[in-house]
Chains A and B, each alone.
Chain A
Amino acid sequence: MGDAVFALDGLAGGTEVTSGSADRSGTHRLAAFEELLHRHLRRIHRVAYRLAGNADDAEDLVQEALVEAFRAFDRYQPGTYFDRWVYRIMTRTHIDRVRRRGRRPETSLDAPVGASGDALVTLIGDTRDDPQQLTEVTDLDGPIQAALDRLPEEFKTAVVLADVEGLSYDEIAAAVGCPVGTVRSRLHRAREMLRHALRPHLMRRSQE
């Protein structure tokens, strides 16, 4: 632990953690946390970016979630996946942030899915006739990120963790705190919504 005190990459002047403003145990705790963070920050930021949908909100989400994680660091079990532990905190933080802003879907998330998925298209918006509609929403990743942003947050979280990060159903269930069956259902519904919203894009992609 003693040599765990290190400088984060990219710090101006290689600033190190010192014991000047905090006691020794606090400094060691910070160093241990930052050592793990150093290895996982890129992935954590990637998930935050896909959940938040833009760079500014992603940074706010990363900072808020990591401060929460640092406060709860005593509950982290060494040897387990640090990034998955942070995802658990970050998905909760993200939902809280969205709730504070009052951006919630008005439909029931776990209602049965129609065979055609038309009800879902109503919620997310059908862009079959107007593919440009999605690209105008954001210029980050074009229609894909815009379609993700229109998903209910629980669905977006499931699909980001599964298809962007490659987590298993069990890992997603642990991260979002719901049964595996709910994860499976949310993934199905999220993919159906995305499939309908992005159909022109996907048809081109499937023919490539």
Chain B
Amino acid sequence: MNEHVTDRLSAYLDGALNAGDLERVEAHLEVCGSCGRAYQELQALQRTLRGLPEPAMPEGLAERLHWRLQRETARAPRRGALAWFSVRPPFRVALACATLLLILGLPTAWIADRLMPRETPLDTDAYVREYLMLSVDRPLGDEAAPTFVTSDTSTPESPRR
């Protein structure tokens, strides 16, 4: 009961104490002159703050606000999503087509890629077999090979014989 309740007086002033604290504070205020004076000062402070004179509105504030907000309105459409409307009509059509292509084209390409039959991977053995079958009529040692090999033995710097 002797413990001061200064730290509860602000909430007591606002009627924001729970039942237990409220009972404790009220009981203490009846016997403690120091806390009683503090509470009276808090009440006086609140009355003073509530009674502060109304500050005069600056002359022309409403007008200045109006023009500032109107300027903001004029600027606003060029920002964000509304920037679309600042694009000239011919470019707007082109931009719309490009966007549509992107939106529709990409999923379509992806789906087509998934659904269409894929090419089988290169079968090396089959390729060699086919080459050998085709090469039966034309043996590897044909006349072009030696010509190619011999003509390539000289270096560019050495004179041809």
Contacts and interface: CB of A to CB of B under 8 A. Distances in A.
Given A195-B38, A199-B41, A37 B65 contact: yes
Contacts of A117: 6
A30 to B, nearest CB: 5
B46 interface: yes
Interface stretch (B50-58, B108-116, B121-129, B145-153): B50-58
A191 B65 CA distance: 34
Interface string B1-12: 000101101110
Contacts of B13: 191
B46 A34 contact: no
Contact of A203 (B41, B46, B63, B64): B41
B48 A202 contact: yes
B99 interface: no
A29 B72 CA distance: 11
B155 interface: no
A27 B73 contact: yes
A66 B70 contact: no
Interface string A108-151: 00000101010000000000000000000000110011000000
B72 A163 contact: no
A42 B41 contact: no
B52 A206 contact: no
Contacts of B90: none
Contacts of A162: 14
Contact of A187 (B10, B48, B68, B70): B10
Contacts of A41: 57, 61-62, 65
Interface string A42-78: 1001100110000100110011001100110000000
A117 B38 CA distance: 12
A100 interface: no
B92 interface: no
Which secondary structure characterizes the binding site on chain A? helix
A164 B50 contact: yes
A140 B52 CA distance: 11
Contacts of B31: none
A55 B55 contact: yes
B73 A29 contact: yes
B93 interface: no
Contacts of B66: 8, 11, 15, 17, 34
A188 B7 contact: yes
B74 A46 contact: no
Contact of A70 (B45, B50, B58, B72): B72
A26 B73 contact: yes
Interface of A: 8-12, 15, 17, 21-23, 26-27, 29-30, 33-34, 37-38, 41-42, 45-46, 49-50, 55, 58-59, 62-63, 66-67, 70-71, 113, 115, 117, 140-141, 144-145, 159, 162-164, 166, 169, 184, 187-188, 191-192, 194-195, 198-199, 201-203, 205-206
17 contacts: A10-B62, A11-B62, A17-B70, A21-B70, A21-B73, A50-B52, A58-B55, A62-B61, A63-B65, A67-B69, A164-B50, A184-B16, A202-B45, A202-B48, A203-B41, A205-B44, A205-B47
